[in-house]
Structure 1
Amino acid sequence: DILLFLTNDREYRPYWWSTGNPTFLIDLLREQRRYLPDLENFIADDIVLDTFDVDHIDLVALLWQTGYLTFAGKQESLDGIEYRMKIPNKEIQISLNNLFMQYLTNLGHDLRYRKKGLYQALCQTDMEEVRLNLSALFSSIPYQHYANKIIQNYEGYYASVVYAYLASLGLRLIPEDTTNKGRVDLTIILPDKVYVIEFKVDQPGKALEQVREKGYHEKYQAAESTVYLIGMSFDSGEKNITDFAYEKI
C-alpha cells in the first residue's frame, strides 16, 4: 500500500498484505480441496471469474477478485476467452502460503525458525535436516484437522503442504514440472542446485525409483547447477513421511 509506505519513512514491507489478512480464504481452500500448486497456472473463463455468489464462490474467482491472483496470459477457446492465472508477486506468494502454514500447524512463532532451518538445510544440501524438518512439520498438524477430515489420504494433500511450506520461503518452485517424459511433482531451483521431487502415498521406495527411471531431471543436466533427486513417501495412517530417499546426479 503506497500510503503506508510513505507514512513509514519509505520502508519496504508487505503493507499490501497487512491491510487484509482473510482466513476465510483458507477455509474456502480447505472446503473446495484445492491443490495449492495449481493456483499458479489455473485456467479460468469469464463465467468463473465474474461469479460472486458468496454462498457458492469459486476459490479462484475470489482470489482474483481480491487481488491474490492476476492474469498471466489469455487464449481463445470454443467457449470464449480463457485466462491463465498467477500469483502477482513474491510478497503475496510468501504471505499467502505463510498464512496457510500458520492455519494448518500448531507451531505459532516457531514456524519462522523452522522455515529458516529448512532454507539453510536446502542451501547446504543437508538432506537429513530436510527430512527431519519436514517430518516435524507434519507432526505439528493438530489431531482435530485429521478428525475433521481436512486431511485426505491422497498424494495431492501432502504435495500441497510441502509446496506451501517451501513457497512461504520465497523459493523458486515449479509444481507439476513438465518434461518430455512426463511431469515431476515439484522442482526447487536455487542459484547453484536443483531439487527434483516426487511424492507417493503408501508406496515406500517408489518415488525415487520413478524419478530416476523417468529421467525427469535430464532437462536440468545441461545447466551448471548440481541436480538432486528426492523421493518422499507418506503413510496415510501415520500422516507423515515414512520413506525419504535422495541421490546426487
Structure 2
Amino acid sequence: MNTLERKLPIGIQTFEKMRTEGCLYVDKTAIIYQIAATKVPYFLSRPRRFGKSLLISTFEAYFQGRKDLFEGLAIEKLETKWEQYPVLHLDLNAKKYETVADLVAMLNQYLEKWEAIYGDEKKDRSPEERFSYVIEQACLKTGKGVVVLVDEYDKPLLQALLDENLLDEYRRILKAFYGVLKSSDRYLRFIFLTGVTKFAQVSVFSDLNQLNDISMKIPYANICGITKKELVSTFTPELERLAEVQEMSFEDTVDKMTAMYDGYHFTYSEEGLFNPFSILNVFDGLMFDNYWFQTGTPTYLVDLLKQSDYDLRLLIDGLEVGSSGFAEYRAETKNPLPMIYQSGYLTIKNFDKSLNLYTLGFPNDEVKYGFLKFLIPYYTPISSDETDFNAVKFVRELQSGDVHSFMERMKSFFADIPYELNTKTERHYQVIFYLVFKLMGQYVDAEVRSAKGRADAVVKTKDRIYVFEFKLEGTVDEALKQIDEKGYLLPYRTDGRELVKVGVSFNAEERNIGEYKVI
C-alpha cells in the first residue's frame, strides 16, 4: 500500500475516531486488558504528548463495551464478556486555568453533563458533593461499578506552579474533589488517572492508599510511547518513504530516528521508547525536526532553575540521584529536578542496583538541542530564533580552520551581554561557554567537560581536532601549559587529523574573553 493511503493519526487522541477512520495504531490493548481486569486505582505519569489521552480514551471504549472498535487487536482474543459500565471521563487538558473560576467552571461543565444522565438533586452543592452523588447514582441506576478516568489531573496545578496563592487554592479544590474517589470506593469499578507530575500534597496520593502508581514499574513501562520493534513493525512503509526522500539507507534512517526521538526510559529496563508525537510528524512531513519541543515552551522550568540556582551543567551532562530525588514533586521545595524529569526533558539513562542510584540525562537529540536552544536567551542577549544561526557560524569557522574569527565572534558574543547581566557570577559565564559548545554538537562532534583532568572543550571537524582550555583566573600560557601537562591531546595523537591547541584567558574586569593563543 502506498504510504499516502496509510492514515497517520496526527492530532487524533480519541480511540474511537482512530479506529473508525482507519488510522495506524500501535497495539497496546494486551496490557490495557491486564490493567482493566483489576479493581485497584491506577496513576500514570508521562510527559505531554506521549499518548496519555489516547490511553484514557482506549480505556473508555473498553469499559463502554465497544467490541467493534477492538476488532483485530490483541484484546479481541482475551476479552469474552465485553460488559458495559458507566464511565465518568474528566479531561482537564483542554483549558487554560488562570483563576479559581476557570477550574470551577471546568469541573461544573463535566458535573452538569453527568448530572443530566444520573440526576442533579445535588446541583447546588460543592463540586465534591456533586461528584460523590453522581458516582453513587450512576452505580445504583446501572447496577454496575463506576469507571472514573481522569486525564491530566494536574494541569491546573502546573499552570499555577509559580503563583503560591493560586496553587494553594487549586490544591484545596482538587484535594476535596479527588478525595471523593476514596469515600466512594464501594461504588467504583475502576479508576485511572494520568498527569505529568505527582503532587505529594494532593489528596489522591496522600489519602488514596491503594493507588497503584505504575509510572516507574517495569511491566507498565511501554504502555505509552513506541518501542523500536513497534516502530519498525508498524511503520516500515513510512520509514522506507522517509529514507527515500532523505536519500538515506533504511538502516541509517532508523538510526537517525533513534538518535533524534528514542531514549525515553521510565524505569531501569533496557528498552527505550520513542516519542509518538515526533514520530508521526516526521512521517507526515518527511523531515527530521524538533516537533515535540516546539509544541510547548517550558518557561516555568527556567523560572524554577533561576530560583534554585541549579548548575545547568549538571543537568546537561547527567547526574546521579535516588528515586526520591526526582519521582515526586513537592511544590514548596526549590529543587527543579523532579519537574524537569517528569516533564520529559530528562529521563533515566542508567541504574546502579548496588547503590540504588539513577543516572538522569537527556533522552535524545531532539530534547537535548531543543532545551539548549531554549535556554540561550535566558543567559545571553541572543534570541531563540538566532541560536541556530550563531551556532552554524561558530561551526563553519572551525571547519575552515579560522580559529581567530571563532574567538573574535565569541568575544562579540560576550560583549553584547547587557550590563545588568555582567554582575552575574563566574558560573554564569562558564554556563555560556558551555552552552555555545554544546549547541555546536548538533553539527560537529563537540564535547564539553568539567571533570578534573579533561580539557574544557574538544571540537572535532573533518580535518582538525581542537582542544580548548579556558582560564577564568589565569593566563593564556597557563592554559596551554595545562593542555600539555595533563596530556589532553594524547587520545588523539593517532587520529590523523591536525591537532590544534587553544588557550584562552577570561578578563574578570571586562567580563569578557581577554587573550587567546592558538598553537
When normalised by structure 1's length, the TM-score is: 0.83
| Distance in 1 separating the partners of 2:447 and 2:314 | 10
Partner of 1:94: 369
Shift of 1:73: 1.2
SS of 2:353 mapped into structure 1: strand
Q: Write out aligned runs for 1:42-191 (5 A).
A: 42-77=319-354, 80-108=355-383, 109-147=385-423, 151-153=424-426, 156-169=427-440, 170=442, 171-176=444-449, 182-191=453-462
Amino acid at match of 2:463: D
What is the CA RMSD across the aligned residues, in angstroms?
2.5
| Distance in 1 separating the partners of 2:514 and 2:508 | 10
SS of 1:215 mapped into structure 2: coil
Answer yes or no: is the 8 Å Cα contact 2:348–2:358 preserved in 1: yes
- After superposition, the C-alpha distances for 1:148-198 in whole angstroms (9 at most, x for unaligned) are xxx213xx433321221222231433332769xx22222223343322222
Answer yes or no: is the 8 Å Cα contact 1:234–1:240 preserved in 2: yes
SS of 1:137 mapped into structure 2: helix
- After superposition, the C-alpha distances for 1:108-151 in whole angstroms (9 at most, x for unaligned) are 3444433221110111121111111111111122222235xxx2
Structure scoring higher RCO (CA < 8 A, sep ≥ 6) equals 1
Amino acid at match of 1:69: L
| Distance in 1 separating the partners of 2:310 and 2:501 | 26
**Structure 1 or 2: more strand by fraction:** 1
List gaps (5 residues or longer) in structure 1. Answer: none
- After superposition, the C-alpha distances for 1:47-72 in whole angstroms (9 at most, x for unaligned) are 21123112324233322111111222
| Distance in 2 separating the partners of 1:192 and 1:32 | 42
Q: 2:492 aligns with which of 220, 225, 233?
A: 220
| Distance in 1 separating the partners of 2:389 and 2:479 | 29
| Distance in 2 separating the partners of 1:37 and 1:195 | 21
| Distance in 1 separating the partners of 2:479 and 2:428 | 16
Q: 2:467 aligns with which of 191, 196, 218?
A: 196
Shift of 1:15: 1.0
Q: 2:512 aligns with which of 240, 243, 246?
A: 240
Task: Check 1:229–1:30 CA distance in 2 against 1; reply closer, same or farther (3 A cut).
Answer: farther
Shift of 1:5: 0.8
List gaps (5 residues or longer) in structure 2. Answer: 1-276
SS of 2:359 mapped into structure 1: strand
Answer yes or no: is the 8 Å Cα contact 1:177–1:187 preserved in 2: no
When normalised by structure 2's length, the TM-score is: 0.42
Task: Check 1:124–1:59 CA distance in 2 against 1; reply closer, same or farther (3 A cut).
Answer: farther
Amino acid at match of 2:363: P
| Distance in 2 separating the partners of 1:6 and 1:174 | 28
| Distance in 2 separating the partners of 1:208 and 1:34 | 30
Amino acid at match of 1:95: G
Amino acid at match of 2:362: I
Amino acid at match of 2:448: P
Answer yes or no: is the 8 Å Cα contact 1:95–1:168 preserved in 2: no
Amino acid at match of 1:163: Y
Total equivalences in the alignment: 238
- After superposition, the C-alpha distances for 1:82-114 in whole angstroms (9 at most, x for unaligned) are 112221222222211111112222233444433
Answer yes or no: is the 8 Å Cα contact 1:233–1:243 preserved in 2: yes
| Distance in 1 separating the partners of 2:399 and 2:361 | 26
Partner of 1:229: 501
| Distance in 2 separating the partners of 1:18 and 1:32 | 25
SS of 2:436 mapped into structure 1: helix
Amino acid at match of 1:121: E
Runs of 4+ in 1 over 6 A off after TM superposition: none
Amino acid at match of 1:173: A
Answer yes or no: is the 8 Å Cα contact 1:98–1:165 preserved in 2: no
Task: Check 1:209–1:119 CA distance in 2 against 1; reply closer, same or farther (3 A cut).
Answer: same
Answer yes or no: is the 8 Å Cα contact 1:93–1:167 preserved in 2: no
Larger Rg: 2
| Distance in 2 separating the partners of 1:3 and 1:120 | 30
Identity of aligned residues (%): 24
Q: 1:14 aligns with which of 290, 295, 305?
A: 290
**Structure 1 or 2: more helix by fraction:** 2
Answer yes or no: is the 8 Å Cα contact 1:72–1:84 preserved in 2: yes
